[in-house]
């Protein structure tokens, strides 16, 4: 991939897509193809076909997806499976038809079995039952992975899959009805401080463990993989994470301190915890020469500052 190549970043305004665009531009890649959702509905097969026929990108990065936390996944399962199946199927198929040099599809660590051995290696895929709260989303993502691998086997394409752990950073969703745990906690503790609240509730027991990767680290990893990782005959996936995790209780205390909230953190054990632990085995990508750089405490501080500035503008 060189700086004259045309690169289509699907989902460029989202958390992941915007980070990838920032990284590409910082490296001098200017021939980026970016389409707003209002101009191109990736669920529309005819529109996607016309787009690829007209634009003819050399590289494709599929960062477009419908995403959300436990509440959103539980509340809108049909949307999560339908939208994601349609988006990825249309983009991957028409990328193949237009003859792109390489495609990078963004998966998710939630596609691994609920009780997978920790840390989870790429080989864990499809070895056990999924976490019920996000099964429709996970099934859609698994279908995208298998679509990439099937096209590689049958057509000789070079479609790769990056499997990131839990992400956070600028342009994240802070809406409490659809946000993931880290941005949701940032908003809760920020508002708790503003309102001088005596306590802030947190879903679950606080005992489950999660790994968190700053989205700018993922953006760097995606560009790295486009240069240094190719699909194998029967596997196209590679984990992207930090290789370390924390409990939700530790995360909550860290965010509360960052936001300056001095009240009590109250865990609501009536609410679902989700998977007990989700830690990725990142030995494969580390072996290629890439490692995450942004410590969690630093990343939370940066994300909180971004959120505070965003709140001021509303």
* 3-class SS of residue 16: helix
How far is residue 67's CA from residue 73's CA, in Å, rounded to a whole number?
8
pLDDT at residue 116 in the model: 94
User: Is 137 assigned a catalytic role?
Assistant: yes
CB 55 within 8 A of CB 10: no
Give per-residue burial for 160-191: e unless 16+ CB within 10 Å, then b: bbbbbbbbbbbbbbbeeebbbbbbbbbbbbbe
pLDDT at residue 67 in the model: 86
Weakest mean pLDDT among 83-97, 124-138, 244-258: 124-138
In a domain, 96, yes or no: yes
pLDDT at residue 274 in the model: 81
Question: How far is residue 11 from each of residues 42, 102, 160, 169, 258, measured CA to CA in Å?
Answer: 9, 17, 17, 16, 30
In a domain, 271, yes or no: no
pLDDT at residue 157 in the model: 98
141 annotated binding-site participant:
yes
How far is residue 295's CA from residue 274's CA, in Å, rounded to a whole number?
24
In a domain, 47, yes or no: yes
- Torsion of Cα atoms, 95 then 96 then 97 then 99, to 10°: 90
209 annotated binding-site participant:
no
- Say if residue 176's pLDDT is above 90: no
> Active-site residue among 29, 71, 137, 304?
137
In a domain, 43, yes or no: yes
Give the mean pLDDT of the chain.
Answer: 95
- Say if residue 89's pLDDT is above 80: yes
pLDDT at residue 72 in the model: 82
pLDDT at residue 54 in the model: 97
pLDDT at residue 312 in the model: 84
In a domain, 313, yes or no: no
- Which structure tokens are listed for 82? 């339908």
In a domain, 267, yes or no: no
**What percentage of residues in the chain have a pLDDT greater than 70?**
100
Our count of domains for the chain comes to 1
In a domain, 225, yes or no: yes
Q: Which domain holds residue 229?
A: 7-171+212-243+279-294
Taking residues 37-60, what's their average pLDDT?
Answer: 97
Weakest mean pLDDT among 212-216, 272-276, 304-308: 272-276
Band (pLDDT 50/70/90 cuts) for residue 179 is confident
- Which structure tokens are listed for 15? 């958390």
pLDDT at residue 73 in the model: 84
Of 140 and 178, the structure prediction assigns the larger pLDDT to 140
pLDDT at residue 186 in the model: 98
113 annotated binding-site participant:
no
Band (pLDDT 50/70/90 cuts) for residue 74 is confident
Band (pLDDT 50/70/90 cuts) for residue 122 is very high
Band (pLDDT 50/70/90 cuts) for residue 231 is very high
Of 313 and 198, the structure prediction assigns the larger pLDDT to 198
90 annotated binding-site participant:
no
Q: Which helix (H) or strand (E) holds 102?
A: strand 102-106
- Say if residue 70's pLDDT is above 80: no
How far is residue 104's CA from residue 237's CA, in Å, rounded to a whole number?
10
Look up the CATH number of the domain holding residue 24: 3.40.50.720
In a domain, 284, yes or no: yes
């Amino acid at each position: 991939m060189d700086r004259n190549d045309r690169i289509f970043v699907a989902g460029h305004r989202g958390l992941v897509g915007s980070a990838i665009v920032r990284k590409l531009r910082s490296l001098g890649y200017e021939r980026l193809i970016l389409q707003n959702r209002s101009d191109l509905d990736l669920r529309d097969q005819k529109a996607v076909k016309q787009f690829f026929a007209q634009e003819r990108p050399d590289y494709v990065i599929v960062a477009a997806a419908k995403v959300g936390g436990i509440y959103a996944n539980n509340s809108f399962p049909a949307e999560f499976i339908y939208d994601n199946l349609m988006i990825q199927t249309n983009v991957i198929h028409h990328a193949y038809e237009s003859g792109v040099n390489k495609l990078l599809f963004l998966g998710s660590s939630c596609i691994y079995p609920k009780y997978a051995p920790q840390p989870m290696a790429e080989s864990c895929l499809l070895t056990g039952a999924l976490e019920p709260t996000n099964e429709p989303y996970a099934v859609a993502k698994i279908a995208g992975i298998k679509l990439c691998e099937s096209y590689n086997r049958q057509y000789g394409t070079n479609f790769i899959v990056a499997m990131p752990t839990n992400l956070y950073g600028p342009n994240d969703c802070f809406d409490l009805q659809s946000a993931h745990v880290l941005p949701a906690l940032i908003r809760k503790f920020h508002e708790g401080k503003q309102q001088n609240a005596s306590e802030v509730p947190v879903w679950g027991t606080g005992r489950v463990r999660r790994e968190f990767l700053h989205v700018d680290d993922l953006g760097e990893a995606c560009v790295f993989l486009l240069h240094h990782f190719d699909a194998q005959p029967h596997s196209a996936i590679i984990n992207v994470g930090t290789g370390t995790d924390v409990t939700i209780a530790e995360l909550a205390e860290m965010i509360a301190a960052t936001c300056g909230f001095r009240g009590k953190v109250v865990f609501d054990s009536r609410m679902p915890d989700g998977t007990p632990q989700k830690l990725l085995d990142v030995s494969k990508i580390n072996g290629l020469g890439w490692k995450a750089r942004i410590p969690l405490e630093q990343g939370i501080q940066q994300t909180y500052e971004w959120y505070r500035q965003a709140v001021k503008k509303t």
